[in-house]
Amino acid sequence: MKFTAVIVGLAAVRAIASPVERRQNDVAKCENGSGTKENDTWDYASGKAQCEENCYLSEDDGNGDVCRGYCRNAGHPVPIWMCMGSWPN
């Protein structure tokens, strides 16, 4: 009886501690994304963090999966961050 309890306990610990291949909240980078946030800009006050927080688009592959756009510095000399639909190669 004790041996069975130990085996069941070890199996439960292993199931809980097993690594997850991909986190549930990961969003893939856009390959060819588009949407309402594409080409939106954020100034230096809100910065790159606001751009990265809001730059989510739909993939143009027919499925419309959500993807994470690329924030690039489009302003000179003051940084202005722009949401782009694809990541640089």
Which structure tokens are listed for 55?
């730059």
- The 10s digit of each residue's pLDDT in 33-67 is 888 888 888 888 778 889 999 999 999 887 889 99
Q: Strand 56-59 relative to strand 81-84: parallel, antiparallel, unpaired?
A: unpaired
Across residues 13-31, what is the average pLDDT?
66
3 versus 56: the higher-pLDDT residue is 56
Which structure tokens are listed for 3?
């041996």
Domain that holds residue 54: 29-89
Using DSSP's 3-state secondary structure scheme, residue 82 falls into strand
Residue 19 lies in a domain: no
Residue 10, pLDDT above cutoff 60 = no
Residue 12, pLDDT above cutoff 90 = no
For CA atoms 32, 37, 40, 43, the dihedral sign is negative
- Residue with tokens 């800009």, as numbered in its chain: 41
Domains held by the chain: number: 1
